[in-house]
């Protein structure tokens, strides 16, 4: 068998006809930026996430960067302010902080839950701390009521990085100890990630659960002033045409991508359910003492953008799987604080994050996978003595 980590051609083929039709409509309309397709997608996505506003942007990094910038324009953040951020994240989360001359304060994640530990947050917060970036990494909701209480008590902005968790639910009481309930992401009366903080940043990079056919991003929020400033920042800083209130940039979601996303949004819940079913099978049948699986969450709390496993023999296992036709990825081999662009943070010791970077391996998991492919991955993993 040959199971690539992700075959985007297959992903697109799931809805090819509708996508092509939607693209053709935009082509024929003559409106390629800030047109009706964008407006419609923004409306639908805000509704889906459960916020009043959605601002389409060029990509997820810009969504994060411009969110912080908008709060600076509003006087909610100032140069040098500290922003708490999980150390175990994709580098874009951190780039958005340093680009704005804010100071990232890396928080190591809890070994068992992979979440931020409230006790550590409380020990780290200072008078200079003004925001917390919450990253729903791997597609897992990492929000809980005590995070909200902590932000309120310390007057912090709560910003979600929802790049990996489109459609994920927040279940206030989840079952972390090996129990799978029947709650699925279709039960949309429950709040979704992306609606839980002051603002949430989304990436529509092609490989994401909701992926464009190119770059794309968005911010969701209930704050009208913030949404307006953000929209203006992404459009040269214009408050009206040719009138610049801010030193902005050009970071818009184009109408062709918006039309594609609008088609795919209708299928997101069903595709997330397929991801959840595959994950359930992985949890049930992967049995190899050398491999650790992440703590099991209630299934609706996770849309499995990434299915990470952990082993001290990561590189050997990756090679073994490759030789048997199974593609894997590593998310991520170098944590942000150890990247060569951040020598000022190399002295930090964040042992859990550093270990995850050495031991993480992502198994293929996407809605195009067949049951046979899933079982082949499991059988291959279980028969490996490492
Ligand atoms: C957690 C996280 N944050 C931010 C981003 C940045 O998004 P983009 O690639 O659209 O710039 C990504 C994905 O690429 C991500 O996974």
Helix (H, G, I), strand (E, B) or coil at 140: strand
For ligand 1, whether the C-beta of 58 sits within 6 Å is no
> Is residue 147 domain-resident?
yes
127/27 same-domain check: yes
- Would you state the structure tokens that stand for residue 192, as one six-digit string? 């979704």
> Is residue 339 domain-resident?
no
Q: What is the pLDDT of residue 52?
A: 98
Q: What is the pLDDT of residue 178?
A: 43
Q: What is the pLDDT of residue 296?
A: 85
Q: Which of 64, 205, 353 to mutate to test the pocket of ligand 1 (most atoms within 8 A of CB)?
A: 205
32/116 same-domain check: yes
The residue whose C-alpha atom lies closest to atom 8 belonging to ligand 1 is 60
Look up tokens 């994709």; give the residue.
90
- Would you state the structure tokens that stand for residue 381, as one six-digit string? 């993993």
305/222 same-domain check: no
Whether the CB-CB separation of 150 and 318 falls below 8 Å is answered with no
234/279 same-domain check: no
For ligand 1, whether the C-beta of 161 sits within 6 Å is yes
For ligand 1, whether the C-beta of 59 sits within 6 Å is yes
What is the total count of domains within the chain? Answer: 2
Q: Which of 265, 281, 314 is the last residue of a domain?
A: 265
Gap from CA of 202 to ligand 1 centroid (Å): 8
Q: What is the pLDDT of residue 384?
A: 79
Helix (H, G, I), strand (E, B) or coil at 146: helix
For ligand 1, whether the C-beta of 93 sits within 6 Å is yes
For ligand 1, whether the C-beta of 84 sits within 6 Å is no
CATH of the domain at 25: 3.40.640.10
Gap from CA of 5 to ligand 1 centroid (Å): 18
> Is residue 218 domain-resident?
yes
Put simply, whether the predicted model's pTM sits higher than 0.75 gets the answer yes
For ligand 1, whether the C-beta of 60 sits within 6 Å is yes
Gap from CA of 102 to ligand 1 centroid (Å): 19
Helix (H, G, I), strand (E, B) or coil at 284: helix
Q: Cβ contacts of residue 199 below 8 Å, gap of 6+?
A: 67, 157, 159, 160, 219, 220, 221, 223, 226
Listed in order, strand segments (DSSP E) in the chain are 53-57, 82-86, 103-107, 129-135, 157-161, 199-203, 217-221, 238-240, 243-244, 307-310, 360-363
> Is residue 171 domain-resident?
no
Relative to the CA of 61, which ligand 1 atom is closest? Answer: 11
Relative to the CA of 62, which ligand 1 atom is closest? Answer: 11
> Is residue 213 domain-resident?
yes
243/299 same-domain check: no
For ligand 1, whether the C-beta of 104 sits within 6 Å is no
Q: What is the pLDDT of residue 173?
A: 57
Gap from CA of 27 to ligand 1 centroid (Å): 28
Relative to the CA of 217, which ligand 1 atom is closest? Answer: 10
Q: What is the pLDDT of residue 175?
A: 44
Relative to the CA of 59, which ligand 1 atom is closest? Answer: 10
Q: Which of 210, 194, 207 is nearest to 158 (CA)?
A: 194
Rounded-to-integer distance, Cα 230 and Cα 240, Å: 13
> Is residue 335 domain-resident?
no
272/250 same-domain check: no
CATH of the domain at 307: 3.90.1150.10
- Would you state the structure tokens that stand for residue 254, as one six-digit string? 């184009």
For ligand 1, whether the C-beta of 217 sits within 6 Å is yes
Q: What is the pLDDT of residue 2?
A: 96
For ligand 1, whether the C-beta of 273 sits within 6 Å is no
Relative to the CA of 205, which ligand 1 atom is closest? Answer: 10
Q: What is the pLDDT of residue 300?
A: 75
Q: Which of 221, 244, 265 is the last residue of a domain?
A: 265
> Is residue 181 domain-resident?
no
| Domain containing residue 288 | 268-328+364-382
242/306 same-domain check: no
Q: Which of 265, 281, 315 is the last residue of a domain?
A: 265
Rounded-to-integer distance, Cα 124 and Cα 118, Å: 10
Rounded-to-integer distance, Cα 251 and Cα 212, Å: 15
Look up tokens 């990825």; give the residue.
329
279/197 same-domain check: no
Q: Which of 6, 140, 163 to mutate to test the pocket of ligand 1 (most atoms within 8 A of CB)?
A: 163
Weakly modelled stretches of the chain, pLDDT under 70: 173-188, 299, 386
Q: Which of 68, 92, 214 to mutate to test the pocket of ligand 1 (most atoms within 8 A of CB)?
A: 92
100/153 same-domain check: yes
DSSP-assigned states of every residue in 315-382: HHHHHHHHHTTB--B-S-SS-GGGSTT-GGGTT---HHHHHHHHHEEEEP--TT--HHHHHHHHHHHH
Q: What is the pLDDT of residue 328?
A: 98
147/115 same-domain check: yes
Share of the chain above pLDDT 90, in %: 93
Gap from CA of 85 to ligand 1 centroid (Å): 14
The residue whose C-alpha atom lies closest to atom 15 belonging to ligand 1 is 163
Q: Which of 192, 157, 4, 167 is nearest to 71 (CA)?
A: 157
């Amino acid at each position: 068998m040959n199971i690539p980590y992700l075959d985007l051609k297959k992903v697109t083929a799931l809805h090819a006809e509708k996508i092509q039709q939607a693209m053709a409509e935009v082509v024929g309309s003559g409106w390629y930026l800030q047109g009706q397709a964008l407006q419609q997608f923004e409306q639908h996505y805000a509704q889906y996430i459960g916020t009043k506003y959605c601002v389409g942007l060029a990509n997820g990094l810009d969504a994060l960067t411009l969110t912080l910038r908008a709060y600076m324009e509003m006087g909610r953040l100032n140069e040098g302010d500290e922003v708490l951020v999980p150390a175990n994240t994709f580098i874009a989360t951190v780039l958005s902080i340093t680009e704005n001359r804010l100071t990232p304060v890396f928080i190591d994640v809890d070994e068992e839950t992979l979440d931020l530990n409230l006790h550590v947050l409380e020990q780290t917060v200072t008078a200079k701390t003004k925001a917390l970036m919450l990253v729903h990494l791997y597609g897992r909701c990492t929000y809980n009521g005590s995070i909200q209480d902590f932000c309120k008590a310390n007057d912090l902005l709560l910003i979600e990085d929802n790049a990996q968790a489109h459609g994920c639910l927040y279940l206030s009481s989840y079952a972390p100890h090996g129990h799978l309930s029947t709650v699925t992401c279709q039960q949309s009366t429950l709040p979704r990630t992306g609606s839980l903080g002051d603002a949430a940043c989304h990436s529509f990079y092609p490989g994401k659960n909701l992926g464009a056919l190119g770059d794309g991003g968005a911010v969701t929020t209930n704050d009208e002033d913030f949404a307006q400033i953000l929209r203006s920042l992404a459009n040269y800083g214009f408050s009206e045409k040719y009138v610049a209130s801010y030193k902005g940039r050009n970071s818009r979601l184009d109408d062709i991508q918006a039309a594609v996303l609008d088609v795919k949004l209708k299928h997101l819940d069903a595709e997330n359910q397929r991801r959840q079913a595959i994950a359930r099978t992985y949890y049930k049948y992967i049995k190899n003492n050398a491999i650790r699986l992440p703590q099991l969450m209630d299934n609706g709390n996770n849309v499995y953008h990434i299915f990470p496993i952990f082993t001290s023999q990561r590189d050997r296992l990756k090679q073994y799987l490759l030789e048997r036709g199974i593609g894997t990825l590593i998310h991520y081999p170098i944590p942000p604080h150890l990247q060569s662009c951040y020598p000022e943070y190399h002295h930090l010791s964040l042992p859990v994050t550093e270990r995850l970077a050495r031991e993480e391996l992502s198994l293929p998991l996407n809605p195009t996978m067949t049951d046979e492919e899933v079982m082949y991955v499991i059988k291959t993993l279980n028969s490996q003595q490492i």
